[in-house]
Structure 1
Amino acid sequence: MSAATINTFISSSIDTGNKTLKYTLIFLLIFSAVVSSAFTVVSSGISVPWRQITGGAKTNEQKVLQKLSAATGYQLELFADDVPNARWLAITRSGDILVSQPKKGQVSLLSPDRNGDGRADSQRILIGDLNRPHGLLLHENWLYIAESDAVGRVPFDHSDARLAGRYQRIVEGLEDSGHWTKTLEKGPDGWLYLSSGSSCNVCVEKDRRRASIMRLRPDGSDLKIFATGLRNSVGFDWSPKDGGLYATDNGRDWLGDNLPPDELNLIHPDKFYGWPYAYGDRVPDPDFIDDEDPTIKEMITSSLPPVHEFAAHNAPLGIRFLRSPEQPAGYRGAALVALHGSWNRSVKDGYKVVSLHWDEGGKISQRDFLWGFLSENRKEVSGRPVAIAEDGKGNIYISDDYTGAIYRLSPTAIHQKVKLSAEKAPTTPRVPKKPPPTDATAAREGRALYLSHNCAQCHQQQVPLTGLNKKYTLQSLADYFDAPTPPMPRYDLTEKQKKALAHYLLSREALQ
């Protein structure tokens, strides 16, 4: 049925007052448009991993062991399998794994494998109500979170893996159309570095912060553009060997299966890396090839080419240089890169983690490190790796936003050692902090609040309130009530009420 015929029926239904038929036919019109669009997509020669859009992809230990293969010298385990839309990773001083989940607007915490079964011992939401959180960074006693339109931070207590205050945005007003993810890392110079992708496939950006890597101070001040022409540099890291800042970059779409290459760039301050005017080794983009503007020609000529090229549309995301001395000799100082996998080519490609190795002359070679997410016929997808993190023991964690999984790869030498995971490592005794002075009147008001909200129902049985004087000041405990750790709900307390409750809790503990 043509659109014109459907419109005639709709007009007729309006005249006769048949609203049911009217809305039924409107639905048919919309549905036919959707089906037509889907047919156009399929017939255009692309191959989309549909469950990335529709959801429902799952994995388990049996599938992982049957389908996935790891580089020689590593043991693969399914660390967690219920972290939907798992994206970026960060590891605390105590070994907890933080995972951003943009679609859920939250960051989850996975506790380390202390019982030796290869799985996270527990999982909980650390913080929610965020706007598509992506990049995560632990710096000093702060957890930094890169939302799609802002950067925020919250005090983080590494001793018990809980938030120790309220979440505050330190950078706001970032554009988040198109390639919306923001990634945050700390440089060796003490500054924070922030990447922001382009708003489009190919265009001249109005906001110079798009398609760039920026730099800012840890308090959010002095935000400046560091490098430009980077279409979508989701991952970046500093090499422990040469100190260089290396960033992955996703090339443009719709130039066929094999163009343009995706890139690894060595980032220098105030340099331009080609997009949107050129790709690869200064190859002019077809959208600008006939442009006679001398400024554009000069920009292409002066742009820096990539130091390594990935296959077109492989979508390199996270990159992490391996630093632990526990790594096999051939991997110390190598970089792991997560190839998220293609959608804009007729035959799927990518869908694996590769390792990059630098020889004495600086030449880079690429090897498969974790593969099997793509079937041999290159039609079925069972995972899409995103980010990579390494703990101090050499364990490597890889997120998968397709199945909501976290994989762990450990050097086999670690598994040959005697495990003492069930025992707690001895800790250095701490000198108890003197409890802060409390106001008796405020403490009485706080007690009334504690009773009125029936706080004891949870805290006497499920979450005992202990050690508060060691972890909080009056102000930091009051601030904690602005963004409490679930399952504690957030109450709309005034500043006076928050301080009164803090006075009560600290004085109550001191008297016990």
Structure 2
Amino acid sequence: MNASLKLLPLAIGAALAVLPAAYAAQDNVQTLSNFKTTGNTKPAETVPQTGTRADALRENLKAIKLPPGFKIELYAVVPEARAMTIEPSTGVVFVGTRKDRVWQVTDRTKRRVADDVVQFASSVTFKVPNAVCFSPDGVLYIVEQNRVLAFPAAQFFGEGGPDVAAAVVVPQGKLIPTQFESFNHGARYCRVGPDKKLYIALGQPWNVPPKDKLAELDKNGLAGIIRMDQNGKNREVYAHGVRNSVGLDFNPKDKSLWFTDNQVDGMGDDIPPGELNHATKAGANYGFPWYGGGHVRTEEYKDQTPPAGVVFPMVEYAAHAADLGMSFYTGKMFPEKYQGGIFDAEHGSWNRTKPIGARIMFTPVKDDGSVGETEVFAEGWLTPNGEYMGRPVDVQQLQDGSLLVSDDYAGAIYRISYAK
């Protein structure tokens, strides 16, 4: 039994001691934490993988441009597909959404296309379960708008129906103060770091927060990235001054954290830039809200002195392209040029006179931690007349070295592979 599973009874006990009874009864988490059935006999929702919708998605992919030798195919039809995480031993893909579903996507025959897509843990009432991430020893963490849950052996329990083994890591209403809950920037993102801690990116509710709210936001890790032990203890703010990150990963070479950040709206079509940041230590400040993105000052804080030692981004992306999920490429399938670099999903602009984004970017990362020139890797989801055929959200690598891309607009996951 792995270390996380050995600790599960302790984690469940600690969670039950603090879990509000009314909420536990509401969404069955307490029952599942005790390894008991909920009595839910309603079949989990399934998503058909054939038919006119799948055919239309495949047709749309003919418009996607890639470098020579690469091809893109439909991997799965997945409604509202957002953040993804891949179970280390089986390759089962778990997909978060901004609604109330988490999807379990299984390729049983390893043909590199989904055989089935089914609702995961349908006995649990989720609220914005955007963030999904696995620990190396196989525990699935789901970070909702204001709660963190853990699911050991999720890929196996999820096969059995609506009831799964579960534990509460952070109880409902305790991830952030409830007064800061908002439909704006309420989708979290998570990773388990090389230090075995759980890292969670927390947005904040405003375009630019009022000055009288800034101290409380910072204290609780909003507009930042927090980390904690996998049982929820020893929480701390790891990165400050982060407006709304929905993508982070660790460089396998030096174990340091990198993350994207979405910057201030309403400053014009061409400013401020989006960001790719590099965190080399805990506690640094990345400039928001004094800076709207890159070195561009915000109107609201232009007369305020920024914190000392602000860390500016490694890469300034196109303004309002909405860079979200990112990951280091550790596979061997792609040419050497791409190995060790960062793939990043641009969701696309919503408030720009001429839309931009809806593409996958690539940034080479050198051994010394510096970066090369960022380039477009995959594009075509934004048509020449400004219509979106899709909006990429996250990029994750399958065990064979191919790249998965989620798309919440089209409701799909694509697979990009390479052959000489």
Q: Which TM bucket (shorter chain)?
A: 0.7 to 0.9
Aligned to 2:392: 385
Q: Is the 8 A contact 2:271 2:296 kept in 1?
A: no
Asked whether 1:351 is paired with 2:358, we answer yes
Matching of residues 304-323 of structure 1 within 5 Å: 304-323=311-330
Aligned to 1:127: 121
How far apart are 1:115 and its partner, in Å?
6.5
Asked whether 1:138 is paired with 2:134, we answer yes
How far apart are 1:385 and its partner, in Å?
0.3
How far apart are 1:325 and its partner, in Å?
2.3
Matching of residues 94-493 of structure 1 within 5 Å: 94-103=90-99, 105-112=100-107, 114=109, 116=111, 119-128=113-122, 129-139=125-135, 140-158=137-155, 162=159, 165-172=164-171, 173=174, 174=176, 175-177=180-182, 178-203=184-209, 204=211, 205=214, 206-208=216-218, 209-267=221-279, 268-289=281-302, 291=303, 296-299=304-307, 301-359=308-366, 362-377=370-385, 379-412=386-419
How far apart are 1:84 and its partner, in Å?
1.4
How far apart are 1:389 and its partner, in Å?
1.1
Q: Is the 8 A contact 1:156 1:162 kept in 2?
A: no
CA distance in 1 between partners of 2:74 and 2:266 (Å): 36
Asked whether 1:89 is paired with 2:84, we answer yes
- Secondary structure of 2:96's counterpart equals strand
CA distance in 2 between partners of 1:334 and 1:72 (Å): 18
CA distance in 2 between partners of 1:199 and 1:89 (Å): 24
Distance 1:363 1:387, change over 3 A: closer
Q: Is the 8 A contact 2:133 2:140 kept in 1?
A: yes
- Secondary structure of 1:102's counterpart equals coil
Q: Is the 8 A contact 2:290 2:298 kept in 1?
A: yes
How far apart are 1:359 and its partner, in Å?
4.5
TM-superposition CA deviations, 1:359-401 (whole Å, max 9, x none): 5672331121121001123x11100000111122112111000
Distance 1:283 1:62, change over 3 A: closer
TM-superposition CA deviations, 1:10-66 (whole Å, max 9, x none): xxxxxxxxxxxxxxxxxxxxxxxxxxxxxxxxxxxxxxxxxxxxxxx9872442342
* Higher normalized helix content (fraction of residues): 1
- For residue 199 of structure 1, what is the amino acid of its counterpart? P
CA distance in 1 between partners of 2:350 and 2:295 (Å): 25
- For residue 144 of structure 1, what is the amino acid of its counterpart? Y
How far apart are 1:327 and its partner, in Å?
2.6
Asked whether 1:70 is paired with 2:50, we answer no
How far apart are 1:108 and its partner, in Å?
1.1
Distance 1:67 1:168, change over 3 A: same
How far apart are 1:281 and its partner, in Å?
4.4
**Which TM-score applies when normalising by structure 1?**
0.64
- Secondary structure of 1:69's counterpart equals coil
Structure exhibiting the larger radius of gyration computed from Cα positions: 1
How far apart are 1:158 and its partner, in Å?
4.6
Aligned to 2:43: none
Moved >3 Å (runs of 4+): 157-166, 279-283
RMSD over aligned CA atoms reads 2.1
Aligned to 1:453: none
Q: Is the 8 A contact 2:154 2:164 kept in 1?
A: no
Aligned to 2:31: none
Bigger shift: residues 65-74 or 189-198? 65-74
CA distance in 1 between partners of 2:288 and 2:158 (Å): 41
Q: Is the 8 A contact 2:121 2:164 kept in 1?
A: no
Q: Is the 8 A contact 1:252 1:260 kept in 2?
A: yes
How far apart are 1:166 and its partner, in Å?
3.3
CA distance in 1 between partners of 2:285 and 2:164 (Å): 40
- For residue 205 of structure 2, what is the amino acid of its counterpart? S
Q: Is the 8 A contact 1:264 1:306 kept in 2?
A: yes
- Secondary structure of 2:190's counterpart equals strand
Distance 1:284 1:223, change over 3 A: same
CA distance in 2 between partners of 1:62 and 1:158 (Å): 27
- For residue 148 of structure 1, what is the amino acid of its counterpart? Q
Distance 1:319 1:86, change over 3 A: same
User: For this pair of structures, how many residues does the alignment match?
Assistant: 347
TM-superposition CA deviations, 1:170-210 (whole Å, max 9, x none): 11322431210111101111111011011100014333221
CA distance in 1 between partners of 2:167 and 2:127 (Å): 13
Structure 1: segments with no counterpart, 5+ residues: 1-56, 414-512
Aligned to 1:473: none
How far apart are 1:120 and its partner, in Å?
0.8
Distance 1:327 1:113, change over 3 A: farther
How far apart are 1:332 and its partner, in Å?
0.8
Bigger shift: residues 138-147 or 192-201? 138-147
Q: Is the 8 A contact 1:321 1:333 kept in 2?
A: yes
Q: Is the 8 A contact 2:349 2:355 kept in 1?
A: yes
Q: Is the 8 A contact 2:158 2:164 kept in 1?
A: no
Bigger shift: residues 70-79 or 187-196? 70-79
Q: Is the 8 A contact 2:76 2:113 kept in 1?
A: yes
